[in-house]
Structure 1
Amino acid sequence: MLILGIETSCDETAAAIVDGDRRILADVVLSQIDVHRPYGGIVPEVAARAHLENVDAMVAAAMKQAGVGFADLDAVAATGGPGLIGGVMVGVMTAKAIALAANKPFLAVNHLEGHALTARLTDGVDFPYLLLLASGGHCQLLAVLGVGDYRRLGTTIDDAVGEAFDKAAKMIGLGYPGGPQIQEWAAKGNPTRFSLPRPMKGKPGCDFSFSGLKNAVRLLVETLPKPLSDTDIADVAAAFQTAVAESVADRTKRAIDIFTRQWPHGRHLVVAGGVAANAALRAALTVLAARSGLVFLAPPLNLCTDNAAMIAWAGVERFRLGLVDSLDFAPRPRWPLDPTAPKAAGAGIKA
């Protein structure tokens, strides 16, 4: 089985070829970070235009890297949502055009499912497993029971964790994207110099909250002399990163309690999404998993951030089950993995 995957949901234009034996035959990604850096964040219209200008070249590069032609493909997969709708439309229309011209099936993949199934691509993990999906737009805890079968145990009631990293970085004068900048400076800082809150820690349920932590960083920075010294920047970054890691670990521990009770044959705690690249978070979750009797698993760094290999692999999984989409599929700005989940704000499953 050979699947072409296309990813254009945010600020990476990506294409990949993955086969049914979990081999990544091609994986090309064009980042738009330099395009959006002057704005301090992603501008949807700019992102969509960049996808439109580059997606054909990315597909051609992936096909060349894999040494295959369109006739060799079994299907064409693209992110159908959720994401910035202009970018999603570019990827979907490109995939549909290839599928129609080459007479191949079209697969609309949920971007979040791409992240959720990455551990099966890299490590062949069996269902069920517990997933922490942490990125710039999402922060969720999910029981992954099968392809298209998810139970959300917790979600953020306000901001995503990656968005909190970006905003905190901006407040202390660091560049975009904030996650790598915070991690770099935190490594040089003292995490105990400043006291910051651990949002939701110790509270019932598995939901997250990061708006209060962002506000605490803002108030802290206002008390410090300007311009901030390198020591101040490093110490605030370290305090923020530690607060995030402890808060996320607390919420994840409660999700583990639910998961191991309801699905006792599950053996893995998986983290995915861009924030999964954060070393402090990985370290905290590694310890937590070991204490809980689970195996901790995180994808390679290049498969944590948005990429097309995960979309191609999700396409493999769906194609095997006959889950093919028609060419009238409409791109979706929102597409929950668990549409039956209750609203956030403490309404999730209680531990």
Structure 2
Amino acid sequence: MSEGLGRTDEELISCVLDARRILLTGNGAKTDIERAFGRVGEALRVDRVYLFEIHVNDEHSVCASQRYEWCAYGVTAQIDNPELQGIPLYDAGYTRWLDHFQAYKPVHGPVSSFPESERETLEAQGIQSLLILPVFTGGSLYGFVGFDDCSFKRCWNDTELSALFILTISLGWVLMDLPQSQADRAVSNAISFIDRMMNVQMMTLDAAPLSTHLQRTASRLAAAAEVHRLLAETAIDGCIEANDLLQRLEQHFVRVLREPGEESSQIVLNADDTVIGVREAVSVTLLATEIVSACAAGGLVSGDNQLLIELTSVDDRAEFRIRPNDDAVVPGEQLPKLDAMALIMIRNLTEELGGSRVTESDPASFVWMRFSPHCS
């Protein structure tokens, strides 16, 4: 629950997916974008949601201009504010923002905690707290989406940030004139798959509470946002090294598995320099996230136990395996079964990878499969 806002993170996930559908089923019109902003703005209990485009003016200065805005009832709109057009970001003291954007990082928190150079314009609009997320189109920085809270000083948690990154990814696709890159297509398909699976599971697995489905969906969306950022930064010619993939995703897996207040890492990684395609990288990320989430939910990894995630090569195929990193596990010993949600996701993602499962030869692995890396 976001403190004091009367809204759960799980409700936000549902609203962000609704907003994504509005964006992708519309024609990119101003009304579609602002309607999507309104859906998320109401869920977040914020006062404004807006999009600024970053561009270069005639003097070759990097500027930002507001293009779209949604406002809550009774809140003063800023879309016609001339001071929010052609803002020279470096000269106006927003260098920190640009540095964060280029690193695919948000700017967020109470405005009172921001550097003095940033506060004047923000405080003049009555903003108490702010979240800013970069928007990329075709791998290039297009601008940023902002969320203003004019009533409360607040911080933004990891679930909110991941969900809202999904919104910016979808917005980037709507604004892009060029065809999607391989990474964009792979992540777009993954988010659509996550959305479909959430609906299927809520209809068919009614033994689990709604909050359980949405919590798992939040972990999946966080994985999609994380791998999108990673591929935007490191993928070369539609490929990525297994070692880079797992190392960069380690903290994501740790966050999914770790109990609140837990300090020790329960994730161990083993990867080599095998290279896989971006579509395979997205599927592997979702598959690992699903198993880690199921282990966390089912208490299958606890105490000093660790989970080993491996992505290596065997002949001309990639091998992916997740198992307890425990010498006490006897080869052939049957592990506790994952829940139905995880089994459905594993089956679908294995099919997506075109992989062959070899788990039967080692029941002590949660998953053990081989697939074509599809990357020369």
Q: TM-score scaled to structure 1, two decimals?
A: 0.26
